[in-house]
Amino acid sequence: MTTQRQSIHGQWSSRWMYILAATGAAVGLGNIWKFPYLTGEHGGSAFVLVYLLCVALLGIPMMMAEVMLGRRGRQNPVNTMRTLAKEANTSRHWQLIGLAGTLAGVLILSYYSVIGGWTLAYAFRSGTGAFNGATAEQASSLFSQFVGEPLGVLGWHTLFMVMTMVVVARGVRYGLERAVKYLMPALFILLVVLVGYATTTGYFLEGLAFMFAPDFSKLTGTSMLAAMGQAFFSLSLGMGTIMIYGSYVPQEISIARTSIVIALADTLIAILAGIAIFPIVFANGLEPKAAGPGLIFETLPVAFAQMPGGHLIGVLFFVLLMVAAWTSSISLIEPAVTVLVENFGMTRLKASWLSGLTTWALGFGTIFSFNVWADYRLFQKNFFELLDFLTANIMLPLGGLFLAIFAGWLMAKEASQPEFAMRTTLGFQIWHLLIRYIAPVAMLMIFFVAVGLL
Ligand code: PHE
């Protein structure tokens, strides 16, 4: 029997609003720099094929599981896990998985917001022509200068955090929904304009070839695992954001169908980002190799500096990145805010400012990693790198592992099956099989690779 709880935070006003919000959560920096880069590295379309397979066999079933848990619990991840564990007659300690996810959101946002601040700064600086005529070395030294001065970065980080918390404080209907309603179409239009521009560079086909020419010889076990990890990260799984967004999904909406749409939209945007970026990189004789912040903040400004009308394209590009980071940031803090509201009786406004302020202060660690703390290292990693490693490589895969075990092994079929309300039992059986066997093994493998054991 389905118990019909209500979330005290309200629910999405329509299927479309939920799809926009969840796609906004999923589409982030991972789509715009990491996916294109990984694709180029690991054999072009061969990698894309493996990636699609990972989305289908791991990403979609995991997303369905998280939305299902959230919608059945209708509370923040901690209380949802406690309620559902009780329902399944198992230990209440499962609430710790919800807590770990909530914490991961705060930790990720503390550095995500600093990078979000960089995108604001770069949109602004591109507009004022700061990169005009810059050579590769100059762009590189402009970047080191910029991140080397903590006070300036702090200002941009503060602005980005305030932008995020203003939306979150206004709640599901008036904050989250209104923001994604405008931001997601804007993101898509910006991306299409940039792809359109890429077709005029004269290197469009080279860009396409770089991304899509299949090279199966490059496809190793490692690259397949990279595809798996990327699919998981790109869909924001394993840490409670999809679960909390799921808790706002109206009962009549199909979890399977919306999960497929969201996963496809996330993948499409990642592919379009590659199609937009690589022709610009090639047209300017640059190397697509530089990974990480390098490609975006050092290579691309050079490309923009060299081409006609480049500073306008630069502004568009960095605004696009900023929007992608913004809608993800909103989702990253939502679990923490709902924990403060539900478990500590705060108003949403107070909860937002308190969690925002804490995250903002944690962000200092990331800002200082590029200047005053640059030499403080643990396992050769600075604070920012440690935070990234701890969240993306340890907390998310383990969170995903436990959620898969819970949904597949501990929760009764009588509880999960009615939530999906699929027309045929075959669909449910396939999901159940994937979540019981494929997902836990995949999550363990991602974890072992990440910590260097495989
Ligand atoms: N999915 C986001 C991206 O692709 C990253 C992210 C992970 C955001 C987990 C929130 C939670 O950039």
209-213, 358-362, 369-373: least confident range = 209-213
Angstrom distance (rounded) from CA 451 to CA 223: 16
**Pick from 321, 258, 287, 296: which is nearest to 120 by CA?**
321
Read off the pTM. 0.94
User: Is there a contact between 131 and 300 (Cβ–Cβ < 8 Å)?
Assistant: no
Question: Which residue puts its alpha carbon closest to atom 9 of ligand 1?
Answer: 236
DSSP letters along 209-271, please? HHHHS--GGG--HHHHHHHHHHHHHHTT-SSSHHHHHHTTS-TTS-HHHHHHHHHHHHHHHHH
Average pLDDT, the chain: 92
**Pocket lining: 236 vs ligand 1, CB cutoff 6 Å:** yes
Residue 179: the pLDDT is 93
Mean pLDDT of 256-273: 96
Best mutation site among 66, 103, 234 for ligand 1, i.e. most ligand atoms within 8 A of its Cβ? 234
Share in percent of the chain as helix, strand, coil (round to 5): 80, 0, 20
Residue 82: the pLDDT is 98
How many A from CA of 325 to the centre of ligand 1? 9
DSSP state of 28: S
User: Domains in the chain, ordered, with CATH?
Assistant: 15-450 (1.20.1740)
Q: What is the CA radius of gyration of the chain?
A: 21
| 3-state SS class at 378 | strand
44-48, 164-168, 315-319, 363-367: least confident range = 44-48
Residue 294: the pLDDT is 66
pLDDT band at 201 (very low <50, low <70, confident <90, very high): confident
How much of the chain, in percent, has pLDDT values that exceed 90?
Answer: 72
How many A from CA of 6 to the centre of ligand 1? 27
Tell me the per-residue pLDDT of 148-182, one tens digit each, with 9 for 90 and over.
999 999 999 999 999 999 999 999 999 999 999 99
Tell me the per-residue pLDDT of 300-311, one tens digit each, with 9 for 90 and over.
888 888 888 888
Mean pLDDT of 368-383: 90
The number of the ligand 1 atom at minimal distance from the alpha carbon of 324 is: 12
**Pick from 250, 352, 349: which is nearest to 17 by CA?**
250
pLDDT band at 256 (very low <50, low <70, confident <90, very high): very high
**Pocket lining: 416 vs ligand 1, CB cutoff 6 Å:** no
Q: Which positions ≥6 away from 250 have C-beta within 8 Å?
A: 11, 12, 15, 18
Q: Which residue has the tokens 């550095």?
A: 111
**Pocket lining: 391 vs ligand 1, CB cutoff 6 Å:** no
How distant is the alpha carbon of residue 354 from its chain centre? 23
Angstrom distance (rounded) from CA 81 to CA 73: 7
The number of the ligand 1 atom at minimal distance from the alpha carbon of 35 is: 4
Best mutation site among 108, 119, 232, 236 for ligand 1, i.e. most ligand atoms within 8 A of its Cβ? 236
pLDDT band at 1 (very low <50, low <70, confident <90, very high): very low
Mean pLDDT of 334-363: 98
Q: Is the pLDDT of residue 45 over 90?
A: no
Angstrom distance (rounded) from CA 398 to CA 392: 10
- Assigned token pair, 184: 């997601």
How much of the chain, in percent, has pLDDT values that exceed 70?
Answer: 98
How many A from CA of 236 to the centre of ligand 1? 4
Q: Which amino acid is residue 93, in one-letter code?
A: H
Residue 292: the pLDDT is 56
Question: Which residue puts its alpha carbon closest to atom 10 of ligand 1?
Answer: 236
Angstrom distance (rounded) from CA 260 to CA 253: 13
